[in-house]
Amino acid sequence: MIRKLTSISLKQTSLAVLLTGSFMAASWAVPLPSAHAANEGVFISQNSYFMLNKAALSSSSLQFSVLFHNGENQTLDFNKYGVRVTDSAGHSYTANLSEKKSGLVTGGTEDSFRFYANLPAGESANDLKVDVFRWDYNKSDFMNHLGELPVSSVIQEGQLEAPEEIINLHSLDSTLPNDASLAFQLGQSVRVTENGKWYMYTQVAAKNLGSSSVAVPKGLLVRLVDANGLKYTSTIASGSDTTILPSQSDTLTLKTLISKGMPLTGLSLEYYYLNQTEDVSLGTLNMNASLGTVALGVKQKYAGQQDSENVTVKASSSTYSKQADGVHVQTVVTLSNDGDVVAPVPALQASYQFGDSGTSVSSTDNSTRSGFLAPQETATYYFNATLPTGVDPNAAQLVLWEKASTTNSGGSASTGTGTTAGTGSAATTPTTTTTGQQPVAVFLLKGATEAKNGFTTAVNYDLGSKFVFSNNNVVNANLDVSLVEIHAHENDDLGYKTAIAKYKITNNGTSTLALPDLQNELIDGNGNAYTGTRQTAAATQITPGSSYVVSYSYLLPNKEVTSDNTFALNVYDDKSVSEGNVSIGTYKVALQDEDAGDTISIYPFSLKINDSTLSWSYGSGTYTYNLSLDMDITHEDQVIIDSNFSKIEFEMVDSTGRILGSQDEALTGAGKLTSGSQKISIAGVKNQQIDSGVVVNMYEVINTPNGTAKRLLKQFK
């Protein structure tokens, strides 16, 4: 029995669950109860009925959903009923269920079931009806026909655009089964530049609606049509050779060469095939909701992942600084596993695109990271680049790419420049596979901030405390790193002074680890950076439970650069990024004042001078100066030091500043200085060099790649 639904109260339950895929599910949500008033229903009892609540007609198929309202006090089984599509000429077409459902509808609720039917070209919605029947094997056609619902009653303005395009593959390849069909749903589309040209990448989910495994036929072609009717031929960049199992989906990526001035509204994706010299359209998908960009700080689901995965990506921040060679920009991208299963980590790279000319600058993050993300784990990427002077980084875009195997198949090579929505020539090309990349997302950099001086952002630091780094990819988590000493050493004759910093590295793990090569610099209050240079030689490994001291030197101007000898120590990574560096920690440190008393600190030693006497002797025509010392030497911290550790130099200087002689001593190895009495002798002083103002200066001396640096420890007269 068929009658109008005018004032029936409906209880909406789970009406939006119409699509098995994730794209545009909301567009097929069941209308609110008030929308049922104008529709017809096929009643199976006083309180239970079937009705159409949505339909979309393309050139090759009809997609529709049937609402089953159960007004009884018991569960009803939809599997006892069926639907098919008929036209005014008496033809009937099989309706296939395009989703998996049990079919059981409990009393007092309703559920919606989605179908599709492949139709010949030229069918009109006004001529189509959905025939509702109950299976009855006593009938000649096994059907007890209950009534028909007109398709035109639910195809209204705004309902003509199907959220997917269902294509019968048998019509393209007669060797395929009659029910071989694919449902194409649009994913995201991004407009990117490559090698000075603009491309549109579009992801399409293809679901196999048939009963046999299929691949996309070579004769199925796709093109992009803009609002002016211009056509741009697409190729399948990936997924063309993938075999799709029944009821399963896979993702295809389409790549389309477009003009830079192509309007980004009113776009559609058209499926077609070539019938000798003519194009035969199979249907179109509106792309308005597909094309998009992502703002800074906004999390987006990672494209193309498996159904069980929930990986998200976002551009967390973007900073820039205007320098003489251009605009230096750095964008931090985070990849997060928000799901409950382990997810693979893709190989990512990026490019900055700006302007309309198709200009872009590539950027890579070469960090070594695990191949998988555990649930709730995050991976951080840093993409650095230098943009041309005058480019506004807030107007630029960051394109995130995934390295992939690229397949161009079946496609067509077309001029793509027809003036109307006419034919447009095309020619089939063979399948080719190359290693390439596919865009994951396009991030707008509006909101990028100018990078602050590292001196102003440095955190307070206590000498000897453990550094807390923001990126564990640079320093193994089992290694503790701390700054234990930093002094300025004089190099008056060379026009600069040298700061020497000693770092203590401790292995808290259970295995031997590589000694990290820390990249660091001192930054003064004006933003000037002085790069740290590692000592000429150092160990390459550190054993468990041990500590090692390594020295870095910094060339500083002789003039005062900070009023209180305070700098920002910036520890950074310059190996993981293709350009520039990534700061992993900035700390405020001050050059240490020299010890004023008799105790001298030369980490990890302390030297206490108990007594000193300066005398001379004469023999063989020359004088010898003798410095007698009584001292206590304490190894304060049990760390490993090597032959490159600093030496002690005793240098005799006359009243005019001339160096009359010197002698080196060591704190380690054979002949080292020890606690107790010892004599330092400086021989070979000539008579004419003797005056009453002779002094002996005691220095800490360290060899650096830039020369020898000396720190005055004490002066003996």
Q: What's the one-letter identity of residue 3? A: R
Mean pLDDT by 10 residues, the chain (717 residues): 46 28 32 43 94 82 90 95 95 85 92 88 89 93 93 66 75 85 90 93 91 90 94 90 88 93 91 86 85 92 82 95 92 94 92 90 88 93 94 95 61 34 35 64 95 89 94 86 91 76 95 92 91 85 93 86 84 87 93 85 93 84 85 90 85 83 87 89 71 83 83 89
Q: Which residues contact 73 (CB under 8 A, 6 or more apart)?
A: 107, 108
For the structural domain made of 309-404+438-444, what CATH number should be given?
Answer: 2.60.40.10
Give the class (CATH, top level) of 599-716.
mainly beta
Q: Are 23 and 36 in contact (CB under 8 A)?
A: no
pTM: 0.71
Q: Assign a CATH topology to domain 164-286.
A: Immunoglobulin-like (2.60.40)
Each residue's pLDDT tens digit, 348-366: 999 999 988 889 999 999 8
Q: Which fold has domain 454-590?
A: Immunoglobulin-like (2.60.40)
pLDDT tens, position by position, 544-569: 999 999 999 999 888 776 668 899 99
Closest CA to 105 of 13, 226, 202, 201: 13
What tens digit of pLDDT does each residue of 105-138 get?
Answer: 999 999 999 888 888 878 888 999 999 999 998 9
Please give the pLDDT value at position 23.
29
Look-up of token digits 């440095």: 458
Query: Which among 698, 702, 690 has a CA at the least distance from the CA of 673?
Result: 698
In the chain, CATH 2.60.40.10 covers 309-404+438-444
The dotted CATH code for 41-153 is: 2.60.40.4110
The partner residues of 680 in beta bridges, in order of sequence, read 627
- Report the Cα–Cα distance between both ends of the chain, in Å, rounded: 121
Closest CA to 494 of 556, 567, 551, 553: 556
Residues of the chain with CATH 2.60.40.1240: 164-286, 454-590
pLDDT confidence of residue 157: 43
Segments of the chain assigned to CATH 2.60.40.4110: 41-153
The neighbour count for residue 61, using CB atoms within 10 Å, is 26
Say what the pLDDT of residue 536 is: 76
- Position 156 scores a pLDDT of 55
